Each structure stands twice: as structure tokens, then as C-alpha cells.
Structure 1
Amino acid sequence: MFKFSLYVALLMFAAGSSIAAPVASPLELLVLGSGGPGATGRAGAGYVVLVDGEPRIMVDAGPGTFVRLGEAKLSLAKIDIVLLTHLHIDHTGELPGLFKARAVSGDGPVNVRVFGPTGHRGEGEEATFPSTSHFIDLLFGPDGAYSYLRDFAAPMTINATDIDASTHAPKTPKVIYSESGLDISAIAGHHGDAPAVIYRIDYRGQSITFSGDIDANGIDNLRRIARHTSLLVFNCVVLDPPGSRPVLYTLHTPPKTIGVVAADSETKKLLLSHLSPSIDQQRVSVEASIREHYKGPVVFAEDGMHLQP
């Protein structure tokens, strides 16, 4: 028996050159943070998209994503695109730390492109939000809080692009990045008074769409951009009415509507993320509500989860 096993092993070794290495999926998603604004044991919202096996795109950067990225042991050296769905703390709070990690990840100059929403000057009780370009300038510009980072470990250039997220924004998705078959499109979302953007990444026949935090006023745009998407990452914070506080429905989408949108857009796979404790506690009823309309795969996100569209 031992001789036979050794013989088989030698044959396999001899044929090793003809055994193909696993081929990376065109797009892969690493969930860095699957939680919401509360300190509930999950990191805040954040993802890395791998293109042909290489980490290239970061989507949001909530608190705790810095640690999750280290646990994943992924290199930041080729991440050159950051997509911010909106500027709430639970989606951007880790940005300085992650940018510093990016600065020390390689030897040469660092060039990062950041995309995010235009700003909003609130009136009355509405909050005021800077544009993404102003936000980046406040953090990393010449007079910014972390201006030293521009030449801390290597010359670092951060170019920010503001995407129209106003109430008058176009109702059709716009391609904001296109290179070597990798296309990123965006359309305005809606998250209360916080300007918000929905993103879709397409590459070699696969696509990942990120809803961001979205209320009823952004649903039609989400349907438009998510059409036939391979994977829809939908933030799931509230239960169906009246299971959550009324004010939360002015900011988020309940499960039944999530199911309707996923079905209408013919989404191939649905990932529920940005999960609140109430969603965790009632997963069975949440999934049942979604499945009233959507019959495809439904996955509840976890920090560190790695999946393909």
C-alpha cells in the first residue's frame, strides 16, 4: 500500500507542470466590515474588490476595516480606486488609517483616485456635508489634518472626483472609470439629507453593485443601475414596518422592498450587509420576507467573508 501511494505521488509530482493552477475569478469581493454604526462586534461598512485576483478597489472604509484588512493579509500595493457611497462616519471613519497603510505598502509613488458624492448645505435641522473633494482636502490637503501623509513614506497623490448626488442628478448611470475592460458606473442614491451614490463594477462578464445606505427615494435609480447584476450588495438595517423606529425608514430599505428590487433587477445573487442587531436576531423572518419576491441566493455578510459574484 505504501509503495502504491508513493508511486501515485511520484506520478503526480512528475505531471505537476501540466496541472493548471486555480484561475482567479474576474471579480471577487472581500467583506471588511458588515456592520452598522453601533459598536456591535462587526466592523463598519467596507469592502475590497479583487480584479483578476489582485486587490484593486476599496468601497467605503468604516471603523474596524483597518484591522479586518490586516487579518485578511491582502496587499494594498495595487489599490488605486476608492469608492465612497456617502460620508457618514460608519462608512469613512477608517480612511486616514487605510490611506497611511497604502502609503507604506510599496516603494514607489502612490496615486489613488477617490470617487464620492457632491456636498449638501443643510437648512434648518438638516446636516451639512462637504463634497468628497473638499472632504479629502480637509483630511489630506496642504492644510488638512493629515497633510504630512503626502510625502510620509512615498509621494502620495489623491485625486478626488465629485459625483452629482443632488435631487436634480441624472437618472441614468454614468461611467466614471473605464480602463482595460474594467468599468465603474455610478448614479445618485438617497440617504436622508446625506448625499449618496450607488456604484456598479463590471469586468469580464461579471458585476458587483453596491446600494450604499438607501431609502425609498433612491430605489428607482438602484433598479436602473443593478439590472442583471451578478452580485447586489444591499445594506439591510431595518425590519419590515413597523418592526423598526419610524425615522429609520427615512434612511433605509426594509427587507420586503429589498426582495422586490432584487427581483425587478434580475439580480443573480444578493448579499445583505451593514447588518443591524435586529436583522441578526431575526434572520429567518428577514429572509422569508425577501423571498416573497426574490428567489435567487441570499447571503448574510460577515466580516472577513470572501465570495465571488
Structure 2
Amino acid sequence: MKFTVLGSGAGIPSRTRNTQSYILDIVEEINQYFLIDAAEGVQHRILHTSVRPAKVRHVFITHLHGDHIYGLPGFLASRAHQGGEDIPLTVYGPPGLKEWVGLTLKISGSHLNYPIHYVEVSHNMRYEVEGFSVETYLLDHTVDSYMYVFNEPEKLGKLDTGKLKSIGIEPGPLYKEIKGSETFSHGGITYATSDFLGSPVPGRKISIHGDTRVMTSPGYLSLVDGSDLIVHEATYLEGEIEKAHIYFHSEIQNVLQNFSQIDYRKILFSHISNRYDDDDIRRIRETLGNHATIAHDYLEITIPRISL
């Protein structure tokens, strides 16, 4: 599993940052990509990666501000000519998204050659998506803005080959059959497969925020707790906590202080204001611990499974 930043800027694109779009690469797991937000030019951004639009089967929009959605109609239209024919797509987002996309495609004379389904998200809901559990949480912004929490299912533990050999089953194709079944028989005895498996490997948890002020409610922190990767906005990087609050955004140290109450493996700060140049970013990045980093366009982060 990998997380790729297609755009890491806030508000409007700059020479070095496009606005917010991400790819959750789960090709190794289920042969698909999830697209989270679709900033202007996202279809062009994808051309600079190995992502195949036809393998994007689900799009998740955090909120309806332009820097998060202006690229969606273009992506939908391009996908129709990039292997997406007859391959369904589901788009998740706040109320109004379906109407806006539909009107844009209609007025522009765009015709899709695949079915598209819209899911209107709401606060504190859970959705089953390709075996993943996806939870939504309403954030604190000028419009309804959501966090998506992607929970991967746990993976079966490894077969205890020594234990199988002890009952007379030697390595071979039967091992795969055993692991895929609840019980198996050998020598006239029926065994529970679970007795021959190691501890299950926990699924990964990725919490991706839309624009928001810092959230401190216990329910929110509990939901984010245990994330392998948190993606959070940091429009303000240096001490302007009050200003960030006024404009319904977040300041980086305030976020870190808030998350000191929970456990997580890594946090990625994105949605960076254009006021900060490369020297600013390098200087601020040096003040962060190993668990935190500031996003740049085309950054890739590998999210490993951690065995118990």
C-alpha cells in the first residue's frame, strides 16, 4: 500500500504545488486505486505517475471548495478514453456534488461510456468499499468538510508448517487449500484451520482530512487513534494559531500538540499555503520528528503492514 500526493497546495496552484489531490495505491491488495479529492489538472498530474485511471473505481471528495473538485469533471471525461469504458465508478462526497458534476458534464457536452454512482456522505457514517471499511467524520470548516478513515481488513496469519508436518501433511498445493478453508480433514480426523495459523496481521488505517480547524472532541480523537498514516492540513506552518482558527484552517504545531494525546505511526501535513517557499519548508521540516513530514507534489509514502 502506498500514498501518493498529486497536489499539496492550498487555495490556488503555484509553480511548485498543485492543489489537493491524493492517490491511495492498493493495487497490490485489490488491484485498484482510490482517488481522494480532485484538484484542477488532476488528470494531467496522473500522467506523471504509473496510475491507470481505469483502475480508479472509487473517488472520495472531502468538500466542495474549488481547489478540491475543479479537476473532477476532467478526470471523469478522460477516464472514459483511458481504458475506463464499461468499468463502473463510485463517487463519494457531500450533498451537491452530484448536481454540480452532472450539470458540468451536460453543459460541456461530455459523455461517459461507463456507469457512475454517487454516494452522499454524512457525519459519523460507515461504508463498505471493496472490503475496506470507510468512515466519515464532519470536520470544522466554512462548508461541510469530511475526514475519510480507511480501515483495511486484517490478514490471516501464516500457516504453521511445522504443525502441519507433525500431523503428516507435507508442503504442497494442499497448504493453500487448507488456509482458504475453515476446517480440513486428514487421516480421518477433522481439524480447525485456525489452530494451524499464526496471529492475524492487523489491517492498516489511513485518516485523510479535508480542510478543518483543529478538532479536539473525544469522538474525533478516538476515531483517528491508531492510524498508520494521518493526512492533515497545515495551511499555516508558523505560529499563527489564532489566524488559522479565524479562517477555519490549522497550524502545524497546534495539530501536533492535539495529536500528542493519541497513538499513530506517521503524520503528513499538506494543503500548504503559497506564502511558504522552499527554504521555509526545509527549515520547518527540520523541527519535526521522524513521525511527521510536510508534503510535496509527487511524494510517495509506503504504508507497511505491522505484524503483532
TM range (shorter): 0.7 to 0.9
- Residues 108 and 64 of structure 1: CA distance in aligned 2, closer, same or farther (over 3 Å): closer
8 Å CA contact 1:279, 1:286 repeated in 2: no
TM-aligned CA deviation for residue 146 of structure 1? 4.1
- Residues 201 and 243 of structure 1: CA distance in aligned 2, closer, same or farther (over 3 Å): closer
The one-letter code of the counterpart of 2:146 is V
TM-aligned CA deviation for residue 288 of structure 1? 7.3
- TM-score, normalization by structure 2: 0.72
Residue deviations 1:131-185 (CA, integer Å, cap 9, x gap): 2232233234xxx3345323xxx3x222111122xxxx4xxx32123433x2211
Structure 2 stretches lacking a partner, 5+ long? 155-202, 304-308
Larger radius of gyration: 2
Q: Which residue of 2 aligns with 1:134?
A: 99
Identify the match of residue 111 of structure 2 among 121, 127, 149.
149
SS at match of 1:233: strand
Q: Which residue of 1 aligns with 2:9?
A: 35
TM-aligned CA deviation for residue 67 of structure 1? 2.0
| 2-structure distance, mates of 1:58, 1:32 | 10
Identify the match of residue 82 of structure 2 among 92, 105, 117.
105
Q: Which residue of 1 aligns with 2:253?
A: 256
Q: Which residue of 2 aligns with 1:197?
A: 146
SS at match of 1:260: helix
TM-aligned CA deviation for residue 240 of structure 1? 4.6
| 2-structure distance, mates of 1:242, 1:50 | 34
The one-letter code of the counterpart of 1:43 is N
1:57 and 2:31 matched: no
SS at match of 1:50: strand
The one-letter code of the counterpart of 2:104 is L
| 1-structure distance, mates of 2:246, 2:19 | 20
8 Å CA contact 2:19, 2:40 repeated in 1: yes
TM-aligned CA deviation for residue 191 of structure 1? 1.1
RMSD: 2.5
1:159 and 2:159 matched: no
SS at match of 2:89: strand
8 Å CA contact 1:238, 1:248 repeated in 2: no
8 Å CA contact 2:148, 2:208 repeated in 1: yes
- TM-score, normalization by structure 1: 0.72
TM-aligned CA deviation for residue 287 of structure 1? 4.9
TM-aligned CA deviation for residue 253 of structure 1? 1.0
Residue deviations 1:24-77 (CA, integer Å, cap 9, x gap): xxx211111111123322111001111143442100011232222101132111
- Residues 68 and 160 of structure 1: CA distance in aligned 2, closer, same or farther (over 3 Å): same
The one-letter code of the counterpart of 1:214 is T
| 1-structure distance, mates of 2:268, 2:260 | 13
8 Å CA contact 1:215, 1:253 repeated in 2: yes
| 2-structure distance, mates of 1:219, 1:86 | 20
Identify the match of residue 44 of structure 1 among 16, 19, 23.
19
- Residues 248 and 39 of structure 1: CA distance in aligned 2, closer, same or farther (over 3 Å): farther
SS at match of 2:211: coil
| 2-structure distance, mates of 1:135, 1:107 | 22
- Residues 267 and 148 of structure 1: CA distance in aligned 2, closer, same or farther (over 3 Å): same
Between the aligned residues of both structures, percent identity stands at 20
| 2-structure distance, mates of 1:261, 1:296 | 17
How many residues are paired up? 249
The one-letter code of the counterpart of 2:66 is I
- Residues 147 and 201 of structure 1: CA distance in aligned 2, closer, same or farther (over 3 Å): farther
TM-aligned CA deviation for residue 263 of structure 1? 2.3
The one-letter code of the counterpart of 1:79 is V
8 Å CA contact 2:241, 2:251 repeated in 1: no
